[in-house]
Amino acid sequence: MRPMPPGGPSPRDISTREDIEVLVGAFYRRAFDDAELGPIFVDVARLPERLDEHLPRIVDFWESVLLKTHAYPGGAFWPHQQLHERSPLTAAHFARWVDLWTATVEEHFAGPVATSAVVSAQRFAGAFHRRLAGGSGLAIGDRPTSG
Ligand code: HEM
| Interval 71-129: pLDDT, tens | 999 999 999 999 999 999 999 999 999 999 999 999 999 999 999 999 999 999 999 99
Q: Give pTM, 2 decimals.
A: 0.89
Residue nearest to atom 12 of ligand 1 (CA): 79
Domain ranges for the chain: 17-137
The answer for residues whose C-beta is within 8 angstroms of residue 142's C-beta and 6 or more apart is: 77
CB count, 10 Å around CB of 102? 16
Confidence of residue 147 (pLDDT cuts 50, 70, 90): very low
pLDDT of residue 135: 60
CATH tag, 17-137: 1.10.490.10
pLDDT value at 137 more than 80: no
Q: How far is the CA of 80 from the centre of ligand 1 (A)?
A: 6
Residue nearest to atom 8 of ligand 1 (CA): 80
pLDDT value at 142 more than 80: no
Atom of ligand 1 nearest to the CA of 79: 13
| Interval 7-36: pLDDT, tens | 666 789 999 999 999 999 999 999 999 999
Helices (H) and strands (E) in the chain, counts: 6, 0
